[in-house]
Structure 1
Amino acid sequence: MIIQEDKANLGQIEISPEVLEVIASIAVTETEGVHALQNNFASGNFEKIGKKYRGRGVKVDAKDNEVMISIYVSLSTRRNIHETAELIQKNVNQAIRNMTDHDVKEVNVHIVNIK
């Protein structure tokens, strides 16, 4: 994802998808009702080949300055599932906007387990 500013023409700022994954994972784990982030297929494969994967449970697709995020979570049984999923979407979108000044097109929440 590239953010460009025309004010001083100093160049461009490029934000790695891995950075967005870390921001999103922090926002998810701080959401009340989330038990844990869960591995998805991609993160499991990275860990098998020895790369430490910091965005566990978060997948970011960035194309043409549009960001789409998939979150894989285990939720607590004590909370309303629908409300918790909406809160995750809101928190992730807000965290990305606050830290990168960029809006997220989609935040898809995949509930893997309820504990």
Structure 2
Amino acid sequence: MKTMEHQDWTPFDQTALGTVEIAPEVIEFIAGTAALDVEGVHALSGGFVGDIQEKLGRKNVRKGIRVRIGDQEVEVALSVIMVYGSSIPRVANELQHKVKQSIETMTSLTVKRVNVYVTGVAWDK
């Protein structure tokens, strides 16, 4: 399994008419959208620079997500800020399942692992 740069695409499927490829940004977007749908997740954590950019009005649903793509399989790492009072183990487990299901349903790639890193806790909006 290799880490792919954002400009690289992963060969996905060979058909009679050609190749279908999926950009890593697409998988990051799917993971981010699924993660933000989970109750108890306040936000994705993109670190200091990502958080500053968001305060300046640049919404990035892919921040805080790293994807490693291999042959027909994916590993995902999510950095999240949880809502204060939420059960971190319950929310993390739901995150793992929802992200895995969303990526596999939309891409037919196998999600080998979803690692969740809780980087903070915040009051709900």
Return the TM-score normalized by structure 1: 0.82
Deviations 1:23-60 (A, max 9, x none): 1000000000001100148968xx9xxxx855111111
Amino acid at match of 1:101: S
Give the equivalent residue in structure 2 for 1:20. 27
How many angstroms apart in 1 are the aligned matches of 2:49 and 2:111?
21
What residue ranges of structure 2 are gaps of 5+ in the alignment?
Answer: 1-9
Structure 1 stretches of at least 4 aligned residues deviating more than 2 Å after TM superposition: 40-44, 63-66
| Aligned partner (choices 43, 58, 62) of residue 55 of structure 1 | 62
Q: How many residues end up aligned between the 2 structures?
A: 108
User: Quick one: which amino acid aligns to residue 96 of structure 2?
Assistant: Q
Q: Larger % of strand: which? A: 2
Partner of 2:40: 33
Equivalent position of 1:89 in the other structure? 96
Corresponding residue of 2:107: 100
Q: 1:3 aligns with which of 7, 12, 15?
A: 12
Does 2:84 match 1:65?
no
Q: Is the 8 A contact 2:33 2:61 kept in 1?
A: no
Instruction: Provide TM-score, normalisation by structure 2.
Output: 0.76
Matched to 2:16, the amino acid is N
Deviation at 1:11, TM superposition (A): 1.5
Q: Tell me the equivalent position of 2:84.
A: 77
> In the aligned structure 2, how far is the partner of 1:18 from the partner of 1:82?
27
Question: Take 2:107 and 2:80, find their aligned partners in 1: how far apart are those partners?
Answer: 24
1:91 and 1:66, CA in 2 relative to 1: closer, same or farther beyond 3 A?
A: same
**Structure 1 unaligned regions, length at least 5:** none
Q: 1:105 to 1:41 in 2, by over 3 A?
A: farther
Question: 1:111 Cα shift?
Answer: 0.4
Change (3 A) 1:41 1:63: farther
Distance, in Å, in 2 between the alignment partners of 1:29 and 1:35 is 8
Q: 2:6 — aligned with what?
A: none
